[in-house]
Amino acid sequence: MRPLLAFLLLGLPFWSVEQQDFPRNFCVDQLPSISAPEGSTVTLPCRFFLTWRLVQPTQVTIIWKWRNFHGPVIFDSSQDKQGRRSLVGDPKKGNGSLQIRDLTKADETRYFCRIQALTTEGEKIVQNITGTWLTVKRRVTPTATSEPPGTEDNFSSPFWLFFTPVDLAASLLLCLFLKIGTCVALFLGLRRQESLPHANPPVIREVLPHTDLSLSLPVVPSHTKPSTLKLPPPEKPAPRPAQSPPS
Domains of the chain with bracketed CATH: 27-137 (2.60.40.10)
pLDDT of the residue at 6: 44
Mean residue pLDDT across the chain:
74
* Predicted pLDDT at 113: 97
Lowest mean pLDDT among 2-11, 54-63, 201-210: 2-11
Mean of pLDDT values over 156-167: 54
The whole-angstrom separation of Cα 207 and Cα 115 is: 126
d(CA 92, CA 61): 10
163-215 pLDDT, tens per residue?
567 777 777 888 887 888 788 788 787 777 777 665 555 555 555 555 554 44
Q: Which has more pLDDT, 207 or 102?
A: 102
47 band by pLDDT with thresholds 50, 70 and 90: very high
Cα–Cα dist 65/74, whole Å: 6
- Across 30-41, average pLDDT: 96
- pLDDT bucket at 74, cuts 50 / 70 / 90: very high
Q: In this model, does residue 16 exceed pLDDT 60?
A: no
Distance CA 127, CA 64 (A): 9
